[in-house]
Every structure is written in C-alpha cells, then in structure tokens.
Amino acid sequence: MTTTVAEPRTQVGRSAPRRDAHEKLRGQAQFVGDMLVPRMLHGKVLRSPIAHGRIVSIDTSAAEKIPGVVCVLTGTDLTDIDPYYGHAIKDRPILALDKVRFHGEQVAAVAAETPAAAAAAVDAILVEYEELPVVGDVETATASGAPLVTDREIVPGLFHGLGDLAPRDGNVCYRYRLDKGELESVFAHADVVVEGEYTFPAVYQYAMETHTVIAQVEGDEITLWATCQHPFLVRAEIADLFRVPVANVRIQVPYLGGGFGSKSYTKMEPLTVALARKAGRPVKIQNRVGESMVTTRRHNMRCRMRTAATKDGRLLARDVVALFDTGAYADNGPRVVATAGDAAPGPYRWTAYRIDASCVYTNLAPSGSYRAFGATHMQWIGESQVDEVARRCGVDPLELRRQNLCLPGEEIRAGGKPLDADLVGDVEKVAAAVGWDEPKPPFVGRGVSAGLLAAGAHPVSSAVCRLEADGRVVVLVGTTEMGQGPRTAFAQIAAEELRIDSDRVTVRGADTRFTPYDRSTGASRSTTIAGLAVQRAAADIRQQLEGIAGTSEIDSADYLALMRRHFGFAGGELIGRGEVAPIGTGSYAEGPVFWEVCVGAAEVEVDPETGVIRVRRTATCADVGRAINPQLVERQDEGATLQGLGNALFEEMVYEDGLLLNDTLLDYRVPSFEDLPGEMTCVIVENEDGPGPYGAKGCGEGALAAVPAAVVNALADAGVPMNELPLTPERVWRRIQELKEDREWPQ
C-alpha cells in the first residue's frame, strides 16, 4: 500500500505583494494616455447636442481651414465599408449617418497636430438637425405607437452568445424569459403575496482613466493601443469592420486605469481607426469624463415583481417583468438582460416562477457592462420581497433564508449548472459579522441579502509559459491588468506548479500579435479560466522537465542542468502551453462556468429629520473556493462594497427629455474616503468547490450586487421600505413623510 501525501502549497494561498506596486506607486506605470507614437495626431469628437434628430447637413469647410487640422471625418467617409458594429447586435454606426439617436452621439471627428487645433475645429463644424420626438424612457418606448429608435432589423454580432436572436419587436431588441411550474395557480392559493414596482437608476462606472485609443493604419495592418478589457474580441470586430485579416489587427493593452466593465467589448476603437485611416497618420482620441459617461453606462430599469409564500414562510413562486433601458444601441444589453433574468428568481427552492426581461431601445446613451450587471439590478428587489415575506410571516429573515435557500447541487436554472456554493453558511457568516442578534438602537436596522451571478462568460482562454535559460519564467496571457491583480495571482499559480518562488515569474500584458488568445477580462473569469490556462501551461513545462530527467523526482534546483542537458548549451527555452475550452458547448444555456456568490449584510442608521443614511457596518462574503491571494480577494470585495454603497445611496445619471444633466464629477458623485462604512468586513470562504486552479472561483462582483440589497433591507428594518434607488436623503425623507401620513412611522 502506498500513501500519497500532498505537498503543502507554498505559493498559492499567501498574500504575495502586488507585482505592479513599484511601477504604479512611482508614477512609472504606462497608461494609453501616457503614450506617444511617432507622427501621432490628436483626435477630437463632435457629439450630438440633442437626443434624437435627423442630420440635415454637415459643413466642415471652416473646420478644415484651421491651421494644424489634418482632416475631418464624417459619415460620408465610411461608404466603402459596412460601418455598423456591435458584438451583440450590429446596430451602431461608427459615426451617426442619417440620424442622431442620443445626446452625445458621435457625429464627426477631427485629427489635428495639437489638441487645441482639434478642439477649435470641432467647434467650427456646422451641423443642422431636424429634431425628432424623443423616446426618453422605457414606458414611452414600449407604449403602442411609440416612435422607433431604429428601424434596422436585428443583425447578430460576432459574440452575443445567446442562441438565435428573435426579430426586433418595436423598440424591444432582446427578450429573456424563464418559466417554471404553474405560476398562476400557485399565486392563487398562496397565503402571502408581496408585490411592488421598482426603479433602478442609470449609473456611470467611472473608471478614473477615460476611454483612450491610439490607432495606426498602414495598408491593411491596423495597430491599436487601447483601453480595452477584451482585446481579442475588439480585434475581431475591427477586422470585420475594416475588412482585414484578424491577424493583421494588433492590439496592445498597457495598464488600465480601472475598467469595471466600462472598457469591455468595442468602444472608441472603430472611430479612432476610421480617423487614422483618413488622416494617414496615427491618431489618439482621449475621452473626457462627460464623453465616457455617454460611451457606456449601467442600464436604468423598471421592474414589477411579486413573490408568493406560505404563512409559515416557505417561498413558493415569483413573477418578474423588467424593462431594461439599453439606450440607442444595444451594446451588451442582451447579455445584461439574460444575466438579470438568471438572477431574478434568487437562489431559492421555487415551485414556480416566470421571468420576462426586455432589452429596450430609447434615446439615451448606450448601456453595457458594469460590474455585477443584472444581479445588481435584481437582487435588491427580490431580497426586499423575501424580507417582506419574513415580516408578514413573523419569521426572522435569516431563519427564512436558512429554510429556503438552495443547497449545493440543487438546480438553479433548468439545464444550467447546479449550485456550487454553500449559501446558507455564507449568509450566516455575514449576518454574524454585522451583529445580527445584538440589540438595535432606535432608527438602526440590519439586513442580509443572498443572490447568484452567472459568471465566467464563454470559457476559452490560453496561456504560454516560457522557462528561460536563466531559470526565470515568463507567462504570456491575454488577461488585462486593470487593478484586480491577475499578474500577481498568475505568477503565484505558475510558481506553485513549477515549485519556484513567484518572484521568478513575470507576467506580461496583452499584445494580440504575441499573446495567445483569451476571450475577455470580465465576468469574474480571469483567475478561474485564464488562471487554469496558466496552471496548465506551467504544468506542461514541469512535465517536459520530468521527461528530460526521466523521473518525477526533480527539484527546481535541477531545472538549469536539465535544460542544458536537453539543449546542449546555455540557451534555449522550454515552452509550456495551456488551453481551456468548454466542456459541452459552453453556451449560455448550459452555463454558467460557476455561480458567483452575492452575499452581504449591512447595518444602517437613518436620520428621521433629514433622511440621511449612515452605514455603520457592512459585511460581504468572498466565496472563492480557494483564495490564490487572500489580500487581493479582500481588496476586491472592499472596492465592490464602496461601489455598491455608491449605487445604493447616491449615484445616478439624471436625464430630462433625453438630455444628460449631470455629466461631470461636480454633480455626479462617487464614493470618497468619507463614505467608508464604520466597519467593513470581508469573509473569505474556501470550500475548494470552484472549477478553477486548486478549486478557485472568481470574485469581485458579487459584493456589488449584495451590498445595495443589504442596505435596502437594513433601511426597511429601520422602518423605511424603499422601492427606488438611489436612497438619497430627499427620497428617504419623502418616504418617511408618507409613512407618517399612513401612521406607520415611527414603527
């Protein structure tokens, strides 16, 4: 009998310092905006001042005469290509052609020797518009006889990943539906029914670095330096638009100054390429904050929901109708809506549910990805109804969740991956962290929330590891470093496989000419999927070394001697290859790769005179299977917590008749140091139940969905139930006045 004793892990599971700290702290880290390319021009975009209108004429003659202006680009320069793009639906022209469809849409662009000349030329372009009726919200858009935002039929993009897309229905470009059981009869016989209407605001991701692109076109070779999270998907869209081979498009991604989804898929790249193509020289376009706000944002949404339960608190059925405002172009709206649909039931043992989520065109700025999309939209609504059921049944909300939450292995969505997490344990941990059973002072409430987020996107990643003749390892992987720390985590993973110190591993950034394919950086997928590719690539090298040695009993100190034996001199390198491809088709219907846990708790205090909310404590659960780097995990959850508080308490893009009113940080407020909760706890749970390396699964998004829901529930526990976000003092104060009139305040 032989006994195998697992070697203790030395590289994975420790909080190795960030590999990029030195460069970033000293201001040496390069971002696209810091880069200069020889002969580079400066680009500037003319944007629509109205929400909807026909372009009658564009006069660029005065602009072209301004000294330093090299060219002005308009829609008439795009007649040699099909100028429509969109990874989900090809509905967006590179520049507005016949119509403008939102305030801020790209109408023309200038390339000039200096930023000042470009700005002056933009001001000198004369555009005449004929205004058209504005479809300013989803109600208007879905009313019968509503004006159409677009009359184009649905043309599927390269990467929607949602099966066959149905034809457009008025302004509805995509619809996601789930049905389980006999809904109406369950509702008809239920003891308790909770129902309500809810609204979620448009939100700006505010990556501090705005969208920035440098493009260079030389014959049929296109080179980009771009702030993109998914360079390989952008590469394919650029190749498709400009009709060049995929391999002729080279995208280099340096450090990103934050992403959070705002830099996912294709954004400013097509316009910059079109401008560089006309100018015949490289061009840089760097958005201002107001421009990035209308480049992509989080969907605002309206939702009707009802939940049925027995009188002793057993959840029975849920019915959801949600209208997502995707703006004038779909962007990632269809996937956002599908993910919201999956999140809408909540992770409970339902007898029946019906989910009907629509992606609706309006004359607002396009909406796409923002961290924890879909789940953030739905969780606060569903979880507030679960708490209302608990209140009406006289059951403790935590106890009600213990009784109703799905257990590991139970079905979440028909045909999809069963639950791969211990949600009951997770909720109990966060509740304890905010003092669930402690006495509460007046006007203080506590709430918990639980949900799931379909994570991982399409599981295709590859990586290459190179063991160099000096014993150092270079990892090539397409993951974008935007702050989340993949270069540090991947170095630890490669080092673990090769039994060396992670300081001897360097992880390079993406350059699509040399870095192997990685689908994307988002959906909490990088550690799990790209990390698995890195693990396999490093293991491949180890296997080659063992092959050279003829034994698996080798030490890392032997590596150089083995390489010298193999190559016969002090050069050469061993190349390891790692690939992750789907098990099954990898389709959305069969997914997700894993369910990201969205579990949190909050304790808040409301000021009854002003409606101001003070967040006393928050707790989130990073149910990560295995923490490759615990400190990075905690920092992810903390960042998501602050964004969750911003989304819950004050962040909102304010629109009036299709015009964005708060397009600067003076009047769009994001959380500062002063918004830190009194206590902020991140509980790391490691059950090794993830599909990634060493049982890992992704994190960093779940907390953003969980925190607003926990805050809403805590506020309701303090006596103020709300159905509209953000929870500004004015809204909360008005709600308190309504409660007073109904004699429901104070409790």
Partner 1 sequence: MEIALSVNGAPVARDVAPQELLLDFLRDSLDLTGAKKSCEVQVCGACTVLVDGLPVSSCCYLAADADGSEVTTIEGLAERPEFDRLEEAFTRHAGLQCGFCTPGMLLTVSALLESGELGSEEEIKRNLAGNLCRCTGYRGILEAVEELAAAR
φ, ψ for residue 245 (rounded to 5)?
-60, 145
Q: Nearest 10 degrees: CA dihedral of 505, 508, 513, 518?
A: 90
Q: Is 256 in the site for partner 1 (CB under 8 A)?
A: yes
150 vs 252, beta carbon nearer partner 1: 252
Among 672, 741, 742, 743, binds partner 1 (CB under 8 A): 672
Rounded-to-integer distance, Cα 556 and Cα 537, Å: 16
> Three-state DSSP class for 662?
coil
354-393 positions binding partner 1, by CB under 8 A: none
Least distance in angstroms from the C-beta of 311 to partner 1: 41
φ, ψ for residue 659 (rounded to 5)?
-100, 130
Least distance in angstroms from the C-beta of 685 to partner 1: 19
Among 4, 6, 27, 414, binds partner 1 (CB under 8 A): 27
Residue 726, preceding bond cis, omega within 30 degrees?
yes
Rounded-to-integer distance, Cα 398 and Cα 471, Å: 53
Q: Is 436 in the site for partner 1 (CB under 8 A)?
A: no
Least distance in angstroms from the C-beta of 376 to partner 1: 16
Interface size with partner 1, residues (CB under 8 A)? 55
232 vs 260, beta carbon nearer partner 1: 260
18 vs 87, beta carbon nearer partner 1: 18
* Among the residue ranges 14-22, 339-347, 572-580, 590-598, the one whose residues contact partner 1 (CB under 8 A): 14-22
Residue 93, preceding bond cis, omega within 30 degrees?
no
184-213 positions binding partner 1, by CB under 8 A: 206-210
214-243 positions binding partner 1, by CB under 8 A: none
Among 17, 67, 418, 571, binds partner 1 (CB under 8 A): 17
260-299 mask for partner 1 (x: CB under 8 A)? Answer: x-------------------------x-xx----------
Tell how far CA 339 is from the center of its chain. Answer: 11
Q: 444-455 and 594-606 as β-strands: parallel, antiparallel, unpaired?
A: antiparallel
194 vs 642, beta carbon nearer partner 1: 642
* Among the residue ranges 89-97, 228-236, 660-668, 735-743, the one whose residues contact partner 1 (CB under 8 A): 660-668
Q: How many CB atoms lie within 10 A of CB 470?
A: 10
Q: Is 726 in the site for partner 1 (CB under 8 A)?
A: no
Q: Is 560 in the site for partner 1 (CB under 8 A)?
A: no
Among 670, 684, 687, 733, binds partner 1 (CB under 8 A): 670
φ, ψ for residue 180 (rounded to 5)?
-145, 130
φ, ψ for residue 416 (rounded to 5)?
-95, 180
Q: Please confirm, yes or no, whether 674 is among the known catalytic residues.
A: no
Calculate the alpha carbon distances from 49 to 104, 212, 461 in Å.
6, 22, 42
Least distance in angstroms from the C-beta of 116 to partner 1: 8
Rounded-to-integer distance, Cα 199 and Cα 176, Å: 19
Least distance in angstroms from the C-beta of 17 to partner 1: 5
* Among the residue ranges 133-141, 317-325, 447-455, 659-667, the one whose residues contact partner 1 (CB under 8 A): 659-667
30-59 mask for partner 1 (x: CB under 8 A)? Answer: xx-xx-------------------------
Calculate the alpha carbon distances from 118 to 285, 496, 655 in Å.
10, 51, 29
HEC states along 446-481?
EEEEEEEEEECCCCCEEEEEEECCCCCEEEEECCCC
Among 86, 136, 334, 483, binds partner 1 (CB under 8 A): 483
DSSP 600-613: EEEEEEE-TTT--E
HEC states along 136-200?
CCHHHHHCCCCCCCCCCCCCECCCCCCCCCCCCECCEEEEEEEEECCHHHHHHCCCEEEEEEEEE
Q: Is 710 in the site for partner 1 (CB under 8 A)?
A: no
583-612 positions binding partner 1, by CB under 8 A: none
288 vs 472, beta carbon nearer partner 1: 288
Active-site residue, from 184, 638, 701, 730? 701
* Among the residue ranges 146-154, 181-189, 255-263, 690-698, the one whose residues contact partner 1 (CB under 8 A): 255-263
The answer to whether residues 465 and 473 touch, using CB atoms and an 8 Å cutoff, is yes
* Among the residue ranges 258-266, 343-351, 444-452, 723-731, the one whose residues contact partner 1 (CB under 8 A): 258-266
- The tokens for 408 are 């590991």
Among 86, 366, 485, 576, binds partner 1 (CB under 8 A): 485
634-653 positions binding partner 1, by CB under 8 A: 634-635, 637-643
Give the contacts of 684 (CB within 8 A, at least 6 positions apart): 622, 624, 627, 630, 633, 634
- The tokens for 87 are 């990874």
* Among the residue ranges 10-18, 85-93, 231-239, 737-745, the one whose residues contact partner 1 (CB under 8 A): 10-18
What single letter denotes the amino acid at residue 76?
T
Q: Is 13 in the site for partner 1 (CB under 8 A)?
A: no
Among 10, 403, 556, 631, binds partner 1 (CB under 8 A): 631
3-state helix, strand, coil in the chain (%, to 5): 30, 25, 45
* Among the residue ranges 321-329, 425-433, 663-671, 687-695, the one whose residues contact partner 1 (CB under 8 A): 663-671
What single letter denotes the amino acid at residue 104?
G
Rounded-to-integer distance, Cα 303 and Cα 356, Å: 10
60 vs 681, beta carbon nearer partner 1: 681
> Three-state DSSP class for 60?
coil
Q: Is 524 in the site for partner 1 (CB under 8 A)?
A: no
Residue 345, preceding bond cis, omega within 30 degrees?
no
Q: Is 120 in the site for partner 1 (CB under 8 A)?
A: no
Is 306 exposed, middle or buried, given 0-12, 13-18 or 19+ CB atoms closer than 10 A?
A: middle
Q: Is 28 in the site for partner 1 (CB under 8 A)?
A: yes
Give catalytic residues, as residue numbers. Answer: 701
Binding site for partner 1 (CB under 8 A): 15, 17-18, 20-31, 33-34, 206-210, 255-260, 286, 288-289, 482-485, 631-632, 634-635, 637-643, 664-666, 670, 672-674, 676, 680
